[in-house]
A and B are shown apart, each in its own frame.
Chain A
Amino acid sequence: MKKISVSLLLNLLLPIQVFSADLTVSAAASLTNAFKEMAPIFEKQNPGTKVRLNFAASGPLLQQIIRGAPVDVFASADQETMTQAQQAGFVKADDQKIFASNTLVVIVPKDGKQNPTELSDLTKSQFQKIAIGLPAIVPVGRYTKSALEKQNLWTTLESKMIGTQSVRQALDYVARGEVDAGFVYSTDAAITPNEVKKAFIVPTEIPILYPIAPIKGSQNDVIASKFIAFVGSTQGSEILKSYGFGKP
């Protein structure tokens, strides 16, 4: 009797989980909904693991990592930011994996009367304010800039631009009707179908690809790799697809 109760007590006191960990994942703002859906599923499959999600524009996320934020996994909205992470020594080239793709679209408020069909339409006077992610820090802003520059429209439209801190902020401004149009990913446009409508797709010079990688020197590299594998798995891909992300 005594022996059993002692071992029962010990089992209650000692942590049962072997792989308990807090996994910190910094992901681009456009991945918010998809990753929020993935996290609890991953936690269930890996009992004892808590996934902590941190969403913002890829640029600021990188700055946090560079300044020592304890991030385990980084998923960015463009290769450029990931390359910067690599050059800064936080990510190994071999560890990077492309797991999704996206398209750039122009959206307008749902109840607005404007229906632009191409980029040059935005130069018209009914478009006074256009929301664009700040190219310095937001990948969607960079994609937009290169697309506009290709058609020599960047400088013309600059005076109308309202720079945003992330792609989701651009989405919000369009949803509120505070701007006349905005550049976001098609996956973002799908989030608020009642407030925004897609006007047209913007072809981009380089494809919009999302790389993910573990951060060098993190304490949770085993779990980090598992998470990345999950994102790339069939289950992860299905979730991403349901939000409108394309194949890598």
Chain B
Amino acid sequence: MDEAWIALRLTLKVAGVATVINMLLGVGIAYLFARKQFVGKNVGDAILTLPMVLPPTVLGYYLLVLLGKHGPIGYFLKKYFDINLIFTWQGAVIAASMVSFPLVFKAARAAFESLEPQYEQAARVLGVSDAAIFFRVTLPLAWRGILAGVLLSFARSAGEFGATLMVAGSIPGKTQTLSIAVYEAVQAGQDEMANFLVLLISVVCMTVLLVSGKLVPGRVASGVHDHG
């Protein structure tokens, strides 16, 4: 069952890194969408949501073509940085991060948009810079909604299969995440291994749910909409 523990560690690593990336990018971009006006917002939102809606294998294929040796991004990376993302855990992170990015983006955008504008306005009149307002007023009031999206993103990243398989392959210790390991165990008729892996995955998911329950408990001070 060693392979199972290796797969678990790898899954947590890939999902963890992907979630951090999504959190930083998703919250930042969501804030822009929620607060600024600019041309092409609707189209932009649709494009950013697309990875969640596309079948994972389709996304995986796009990534394979883009990041592969002859692809526009892959060629550039190889030529100037000697980096090849196919068959690497970093490639798995990109696949996982792309499919679950919309979960953070949409949750954060909704959280920011449902915030009553008067708090940020009051902070502006009080002379605090817009950047400081984001960290002192906006984020503290919106974090519950954002966190819900972040947790979903983690769960989705941990379970990512189709796109990951295409881009990163299934290399034990490097890219064979729990979902892929289950798939292969079933294909090979290794029931015992499959059962154990499924148990591990279920424990991970239960833990995420329990932790989220602790971090996002009931009511907040009145005057703030509950974004959970």
Direct contact of A and B (CB under 8 A): yes
Residues of A within 8 A of B (CB): 57, 59-60, 62-63, 66, 129, 134, 136-137, 162-165, 176-178
Q: Is the CB of A164 within 8 A of B184?
A: no
- Determine the residue in chain A with the shortest Cβ distance to B74: A178
The number of chain B residues with a CB under 8 A from chain A is 16
B170 contacts across to A, CB distance below 8 A: 134, 163, 165
Residue in A63, A162, A176 whose CB lies within 8 Å of B189? A63
- Determine the residue in chain A with the shortest Cβ distance to B176: A163
Q: Does B13 contact A (CB under 8 A)?
A: no
Q: Does B187 contact A (CB under 8 A)?
A: yes
Residues of B within 8 A of A (CB): 64, 68-70, 86-87, 165, 169-171, 184, 186-190
A59 contacts across to B, CB distance below 8 A: 187-189
> Least Cβ distance of A104 to chain B in Å?
21
A129 contacts across to B, CB distance below 8 A: 87
CA distance A60 to B169 in the complex (A): 17
> Least Cβ distance of A145 to chain B in Å?
14
- By secondary structure, the B interface counts as loop
CA distance A57 to B187 in the complex (A): 9
Q: Is the CB of B69 within 8 A of A162?
A: no
B190 contacts across to A, CB distance below 8 A: 136
> Least Cβ distance of A138 to chain B in Å?
9
CA distance A54 to B76 in the complex (A): 38
CA distance A134 to B171 in the complex (A): 10
Q: Is the CB of A178 within 8 A of B68?
A: yes
- Determine the residue in chain B with the shortest Cβ distance to A166: B187
Residue in B70, B169, B186, B187 whose CB lies within 8 Å of A162? B169
Q: Is the CB of B87 within 8 A of A136?
A: no
> Least Cβ distance of B144 to chain A in Å?
41
- Determine the residue in chain A with the shortest Cβ distance to B71: A176
CA distance A93 to B171 in the complex (A): 36
> Least Cβ distance of A116 to chain B in Å?
19
Besides A136-B188, A137-B184, 10 more A-B contacts (Cβ < 8 Å) are A59-B188, A66-B189, A129-B87, A134-B184, A137-B187, A162-B171, A164-B169, A165-B165, A165-B184, A178-B86
Residue in A57, A137, A162 whose CB lies within 8 Å of B87? A162
A63-B187 contact in complex given A162-B87, A178-B86, A178-B87, C-beta closer than 8 Å: yes
Most buried by A among B170, B187, B189: B187
B186 contacts across to A, CB distance below 8 A: 63
Q: Is the CB of A176 within 8 A of B187?
A: no
12 contacts between A and B (CB under 8 A): A57-B187, A60-B187, A63-B189, A136-B187, A136-B190, A137-B184, A137-B188, A163-B171, A165-B187, A176-B64, A176-B69, A178-B68
A136 contacts across to B, CB distance below 8 A: 184, 187-188, 190
